[in-house]
Amino acid sequence: MMMMSDGALSQAEIDALLAGVDSSSGGSAPAAVATAPGGSTDPEQLSLQSFLSSTVGAQSSNLSMMTGATVSLSEPKVSFSGRDNLLSQLPDTVTVVKADFTSGFPGEHLFVLSEECAKAIASLMNKEENIELDEMAMSVIGEVVSQMVGHQITALTDKTGNKSIASASPEAANVPKGVAALPGGSFSTAVYDVDLGDGINYEIWEVFGSKVSSEIAKALISASTPQAASSGKGTGAAPGMNMGGMQMPMGMGGMQMPMGMGGMQMPMGMMGGGMPNMGAANVQAVQFPNLMQPMGGTMESGNISLIMDVFMEMTVELGRTKKLIKEILSMGEGTIIELDKLAGEPVDILVNHKLIAKGEVVVIDENFGVRVTEIVSPMERMNDMS
């Protein structure tokens, strides 16, 4: 006999409704999956989530090595999102790091961190507590994201075979969430839980423009789809060898194919008398040229020569300082600006805004120049940031 309800929902029914499961079905709630608008499972989102999940182990190791802490990055939750939906999840102030893909899968790509997460990472990198998110801290956050994107590009290249993937140098800014430069329309969002070894759970949002996520997912799906066998496809014939347009199934009676020999014997009567006598086909072994690298040359030198005529922006930085807006507005002719460099201290030489060397200012035929006094190695650059 059916029991009549008094109109109130039980706690079990409330929990089932919140989980999106009918309590009368007796089934358990399904695992969270990437869903498209309307609740349908989307293969592109699932493919992107699977790829990003495969990188978290290496990403955690890289972050641990850079920060000196035991960093743990969770597998991300990937979903479709829009600006209003994402802003509702973010704290009031966020650190946004733009790292758009410039080739391979060109389009918008960025990371969003809470202000607390950005400060924690910058503090670990600089070995400094209670750090302020100034220009130096933003540079450090940008370097962290650069390493993460670099690993993603390497993994994408391995999985898709696309060797043209590249991204712009990350640009970090700490801003109110309302002015964050998010993609327009619908986009894909991956949410990571991050443990920096301090027992506090942080979140990092990775945002892909709709075009970028779609192209990446399609490439991943295409790379994972097995190719159909070309022999016998659509002909109804058994798989075998095709010689001169004639299908010859493998394993036919009388067919002899000695291994390691340069000839192939096909005796008369192999196909019940329906095949003319071909005699002994003498197949010569193919001779390949020696592919050894010539003495005095390397593969790296051959590749680097391809970009020798590419221009890069080189900048010499005398020094920096920070001023209040009212001080900047009050500047006029004759105003002296004090920089953070001491007199006689080497100036910084940057290529594409990355420090590569230091030098001293000289004058050459009434023009300023710089004499290089020190080359900064990548390892020294990382040590300077830490």
pLDDT tens column, 208-220: 999 999 999 999 9
- Alpha carbons within 13 A on the beta-carbon side of 303: 3
For residue 1, what are the contacts with CB-CB under 8 A and spacing of at least 6?
none
- 379-385 average pLDDT score: 62
DSSP state for residue 174 in the 8-state scheme: E
pLDDT tens column, 322-359: 989 988 888 888 888 888 888 888 999 988 888 889 99
The confidence score (pLDDT) of residue 226 equals 66
The confidence score (pLDDT) of residue 13 equals 55
The model's confidence at residue 134, banded by pLDDT at 50, 70 and 90, is confident
In the predicted model, is pLDDT for residue 152 greater than 90? yes
Locate 234 and state its tokens: 């659509």
Are 374 and 345 contacting, i.e. CB atoms less than 8 angstroms apart? no
Superfamily of segment(s) 43-224: CheC-like (3.40.1550.10)
CA–CA dist 29, 22 (Å, integer) = 9
The confidence score (pLDDT) of residue 286 equals 63
- 152-156 average pLDDT score: 92
82 versus 234: the higher-pLDDT residue is: 82
The model's confidence at residue 285, banded by pLDDT at 50, 70 and 90, is low
- 369-384 average pLDDT score: 77
The confidence score (pLDDT) of residue 274 equals 47
**CATH top class, domain 315-320+336-386:** mainly beta
In the predicted model, is pLDDT for residue 12 greater than 90? no
For the chain, give the number of residues.
Answer: 386
332 versus 274: the higher-pLDDT residue is: 332
The confidence score (pLDDT) of residue 368 equals 87
The model's confidence at residue 280, banded by pLDDT at 50, 70 and 90, is low
Average pLDDT of every residue of the chain:
76
370 versus 270: the higher-pLDDT residue is: 370
CA–CA dist 307, 280 (Å, integer) = 53
CA–CA dist 237, 386 (Å, integer) = 66
In the predicted model, is pLDDT for residue 63 greater than 80? yes
Per DSSP, helices labelled H in the chain are 11-19, 43-67, 83-87, 115-126, 135-160, 210-224, 299-304, 325-329, 378-385
41 versus 324: the higher-pLDDT residue is: 324
CA–CA dist 214, 19 (Å, integer) = 28
The confidence score (pLDDT) of residue 145 equals 92
- 28-50 average pLDDT score: 60
- 110-137 average pLDDT score: 88
In the predicted model, is pLDDT for residue 207 greater than 90? yes
Nearest to 257 by CA among 272, 269, 267, 243: 267
- 253-278 average pLDDT score: 46
The model's confidence at residue 65, banded by pLDDT at 50, 70 and 90, is confident
pLDDT tens column, 294-330: 444 444 445 667 777 788 888 998 888 998 998 888 8
Domain ranges of the chain: 43-224, 315-320+336-386
Nearest to 135 by CA among 184, 175, 174: 174
The confidence score (pLDDT) of residue 5 equals 44
The confidence score (pLDDT) of residue 111 equals 95
CA–CA dist 152, 59 (Å, integer) = 9
